[in-house]
A and B are shown apart, each in its own frame.
Chain A
Amino acid sequence: MTADDAEFRAEVRAWLTEQLTGEFADVAGLGGEGREDEALDRRREWERRLGAGGWIGLGWPVEHGGRGASLAQQVIFHEEYARANGPGRLLHMSEQLVGPTILAFGSAEQKRRFLPGITAGETLWCQGYSEPGAGSDLAGVRTRAVREGDEYVLTGQKVWTSLAHVADWCFVLARTDPASARHTGLSYLLVPLDQPGIEVRPIKQITGTSEFNEVFFDGARTPVANRVGAEGDGWRVAMGTLGFERGVATLGQQIGFRRELDHVVALARRNGAFDEPELRDRLVRAWIGLRVLRYTAVSTLRSAGSSVSGLEASLSKLQWATWRRDLGELAVDVLGEDALTVGESYGLSPEQTLFLFSRADTIYGGSNEVQRNIVAERLLGLPRG
């Protein structure tokens, strides 16, 4: 680590500590996975505070509100954020998905118009890709956008849209050429959610809470100027986003994993589970597994320069999602009978939430099976099935 990095870490740590033990002490640790509905208003204020502090879009160019920070510094920020027990980020899709997409593919006007809202911690974006008929096979998208003058009119349905019920905008993959099939004829559209013609219906998840939604478009409109990239070029733009999704945050994320593991180990020591050979063995395996995640991330970053390849991202997603799913099961096994009862109205403990929510880690953002196909084809060069 360079002296600059050490200084940067100290700056991040001081700022986060001040905020999260001071004015924002009430939001520390809130809103993690499976608890996305906690303290929404305060967490939106928190995003604004992060924006005001200049912590959103760290790696973005200075002229677009970023700091041009190196990959190492971005990792440091994520690490410190997790260490400080920062609340679950509401703007992660804004900052890590749509923002980078606009930076890479957007027009000068789109950058001026949309990026400041993100770096200020204001605009909450959600991702409108999946549809009932298009999950793993995203090219099956059927939502249509028909041009009327200088607007697109959208008809169709998205599903599993995380945070759509609280989001301001949605980036939508839609079919602009009705005669097209598969990867062609799609466009990447930025659509305001607060308008007639859009209905958002929350879907209850196995955790009993609702983080994702169905989104129905029936005559919803967005200006043609809100299309990112050329008409019909949406697939390429969207794939760019997926690359970002499988990107940088992993090392910081591991601090959170470490906290989860430490918590499970502490429980095991307290209730005697640590003395049961089978559980102790699994705890040690989890600990080793997390080390391996770390070594892998470190070596990826050493060779990556400023961005992480899609293949590396697939390897990493498979690795951490599987690790975390296993930790979720271990957490409830350590608790034994104590894990079998829940609070009023299906109130889950953190261990129970981990157990249930980690089931989604292996599904969203490209399922384990889809990642394995990528690894098999791109790393191993096996023929496509």
Chain B
Amino acid sequence: MNEDEGLREEMRKAVADFLRAEADPARRRTAMDSDDGYDRSLFERGVTELGLGGLTVPEACGGLGLGFAEAAVVIEEFGRAVVPSPVPDTLVAATVLAEAGEPAQAVLRRLATDPVAIAVAGLAGPVGVDGGRLHGTARAVPHGARADLVLVLGEDGGVYLVSPAEPGVTRTAHWALDHTRRLADVEFSHVPAKRLAPGDDLARRLVDLVRIAIAVESAAAASACLEATVAYLKVREQFGRPIGSFQALKHRCADLAVAVHGALATARYAVRCAASGAATDSSGDDVATVAAIAKTVCTDTLMSVAADCLQLHGGVGFTFEHDVHLYLKRGKANQVLAGRNAQLRATLAAKL
């Protein structure tokens, strides 16, 4: 293990311990039913105690100066426990803002010290831009109604940072199929906004990192869901033996384990690609390609793992009290968010 990996493992442990203590099932449920849709105090403590907000903020701006690889470790742990939280999106946004450099200095300094939740808008269709003003509606924005800032993809290929307090911004909160991730429509009516960079590199970066973050949390969630199911199959007895001893279930779990293994590897590979700064990998794929592959593979894996795990639990899997439906619903949402998988695959067809 090299130094970087050692650091990441330490971080993983710290975040996992933190979530075990602060986001146990009961508290997660309180959070997902609350007005905010997430536990704000958990978010604030994550920022102040673990430094999550400033993780990817450059040291010059008061942050920890770490990169997307470290952010991904945090996202994995939040994904494993399907924690309702704006942390993953905020980490992605902070990474992109750090790459924007000078124009984002002020917000980066804030991120390093204050709990600032950032939502990413425009992935379900970019927002109109006209003479430096945003207009139109960004749909299905995760945690969009309660975010402190919104990072917006404009249809001109620009990325804009907007405060929802700005006149002309209207947010409509929605209850979501996925209890653990509230969605909002964010409407802009001719809101003046600052474009963070010329060209469209930053926008493409934002899209790639959002997709990879979804892949990372999905793979981790699939892994946790399967672990919990396997543990159940070892103790649940029917016909005088643990149901996990039935070959039909054993083989199902083995198939799921193969899928999870592949998904975790894919997600982590995508993270390394995104963090490396190289234009293409050894297969000649750019980050956008790898991100699209990872997003489809990992979210499909989560969906099928969660669906099977629900089935393997029998009646208890159909109860609200059990967590398995949270994974199922997250899986469906992740297949659709940030580019539906079928559409991503249609785009990937050009690579063949």
Contact = CB atoms under 8 A, between A and B. Distances in A.
Indicate whether A and B interact: yes
Given A341-B175, A341-B176, A341-B177, A367 B320 contact: no
Contacts of A356: 325
A332 B340 CA distance: 12
A137 B320 contact: no
A206 B175 contact: no
B321 A336 contact: no
Given A340-B333, A341-B175, A140 B238 contact: yes
A206 B183 CA distance: 19
Contacts of A276: 342-343, 346
Interface in A358-385: 359-360, 362-364, 367-369, 372-373, 385
B332 A342 contact: no
A342 B315 contact: no
What band does the interface of chain A fall in when counting residues whose beta carbon is under 8 Å from B?
A: 35 or more
A342 B174 contact: yes
Interface stretch (B10-18, B114-122, B205-213, B246-254): B246-254
A355 interface: yes
Given A203-B319, A339-B332, A344 B175 contact: yes
With a 10 A CB-CB cut-off, give which of A137, A159, A279, A363 has the most chain B CB atoms.
A363
A336 B333 CA distance: 9
Interface in A306-350: 329, 332-333, 336-337, 339-348
Contacts of A134: 238
A336 B340 contact: yes
Given A342-B175, A369-B249, A385-B247, A360 B332 contact: no
Given A135-B238, A204-B320, A340 B315 contact: no
Contacts, number: 112
Nearest to B236: A135
B187 interface: no
A286 to B, nearest CB: 15
A85 B239 CA distance: 41
Interface in B168-223: 174-179, 183
A367 B236 CA distance: 16
B337 A340 contact: yes
Interface in B110-163: 124, 139-140
B31 interface: no
A364 B314 CA distance: 8
Main secondary structure of the interface of A (DSSP, over half): mixed
A333 B334 CA distance: 12
A204 B345 CA distance: 37
A74 interface: no
A352 interface: yes
Interface string A143-169: 000000000000000011000000000
A271 to B, nearest CB: 12
A333 to B, nearest CB: 8
Nearest to A159: B315
B64 interface: no
B299 to A, nearest CB: 12
A159 B321 CA distance: 14
Interface string B327-349: 01000110111001011011000
A372 B333 contact: no
A346 B175 contact: yes
Contacts of B240: 137
A363 B315 contact: yes
Contacts of B139: 337
Nearest to A325: B307
A127 interface: no
A369 B248 contact: yes
A204 B319 contact: yes
A363 B325 contact: no
Nearest to B179: A346
B315 A130 contact: yes
Contacts of A135: 238, 314-315
Contacts of A130: 315
B336 A339 contact: yes
Interface in B227-251: 237-240, 243, 246-249
Given A342-B177, A359-B307, A137 B183 contact: no
A368 B311 contact: yes
Contacts of A346: 175, 179
A345 B33 CA distance: 9
A340 B346 CA distance: 22
A253 interface: no
B23 interface: no
B317 interface: yes
A178 interface: no
Contacts of A347: 175
A231 B340 CA distance: 59
Given A206-B318, A332-B177, A359-B307, 7 more contacts: A279-B342, A337-B124, A337-B139, A341-B140, A341-B183, A369-B246, A373-B248
By Cβ-Cβ distance, the 8 closest A-B pairs, closest first, are A341-B174, A206-B325, A137-B238, A204-B320, A278-B342, A160-B315, A137-B239, A337-B140
10 contacts: A137-B240, A159-B315, A205-B318, A206-B319, A276-B346, A337-B337, A341-B174, A342-B174, A343-B175, A363-B314
Interface of B: 124, 139-140, 174-179, 183, 237-240, 243, 246-249, 307, 310-311, 314-315, 317-321, 325, 328, 332-333, 335-337, 340, 342-343, 345-346
